Structure 1
């Protein structure tokens, strides 16, 4: 049983490292798009702005698990100073079980139909001249 938990922990550590590299690559891409091309070379387009917006969204999504794994998430620490050392892991587990998981589940459940329909009709950006639909 302990070996299974250790294997799961190693797998999650590898996944977190992969997310870190993917988030870092996305951040580098955003910097190249926004700063270097637009401000350095004076070239830009609506497609690049759209790509930068999507890159930022992907960066945030990939950075949240990494931030949580490293203990960098934001919390209100009114009670933590007076509580024993085991308080923080317990508070994190309660927050994940009762707040974050249901909210993430609700977001996925409520939005999945719209996402599937958008992919089905190959909907592109609403901005004229922006990124077109991606047809696999």
Structure 2
């Protein structure tokens, strides 16, 4: 269910980003109008798209493997290599992201941090929440990948969006 939620966030963010960038370009170059709030909105949606696309990519098997030897070895080796990678790299790295970001996130929520631009959008603290949330989703997806290796889909198995 979390992978569907992350995919929905990505689809919504992609559509919103496309619409906002198109509006920014038309307003700026067509009418000579600048709109700081819309530029902040585009930045916020790009951040959300980038953060939530990482667990979606892992779920769909779209991550990059740097294993020269795996081509000649059995599928059992690939499952073991995935489990080792998740336990030694994925969980500690994304756990560190959550841990390192926690104090900044708490401060951001306490002051209800807004855009650094004068006249920009409020709610930057909500966007900053996406980073530890995305990291937690990566950890959960990695654990799910280790516990049920056959449940991982490839990009070809997914329906078109």
TM range (shorter): 0.7 to 0.9
Match of 2:80 in 1: 90
Contiguous gaps of at least 5 residues in structure 1 = 1-13
CA displacement, residues 9-50 of structure 1 (integer Å, 9 cap, x when unaligned): xxxxx3212221221111001000012x12345455222111
2:121 is paired with a residue whose SS is coil
Scaled by the length of structure 1, the TM-score of the pair is: 0.78
Contiguous gaps of at least 5 residues in structure 2 = 127-161
Match of 2:43 in 1: 53
Match of 1:110 in 2: 100
Of 123, 128, 136, 2:113 maps to 123
1:76 is paired with a residue whose SS is coil
- Give the aligned length: 122
| Deviation, structure 1 residue 89 | 2.2
> 1:135/1:73 Cα in 2 relative to 1: closer, same or farther (>3 Å)?
closer
> 1:117/1:78 Cα in 2 relative to 1: closer, same or farther (>3 Å)?
same
Higher RCO, Cα 8 Å, sep 6+: 2
Range that drifts further, 22-31 or 80-89: 80-89
1:131 is paired with a residue whose SS is coil
Q: Does 1:23 align with 2:13?
A: no
Scaled by the length of structure 2, the TM-score of the pair is: 0.67
Of 46, 56, 60, 1:66 maps to 56
> 1:135/1:65 Cα in 2 relative to 1: closer, same or farther (>3 Å)?
closer
> 1:39/1:113 Cα in 2 relative to 1: closer, same or farther (>3 Å)?
same
CA displacement, residues 72-105 of structure 1 (integer Å, 9 cap, x when unaligned): 1112131221221122222222111111111111
Query: RMSD across aligned C-alpha pairs, in angstroms?
Result: 2.2
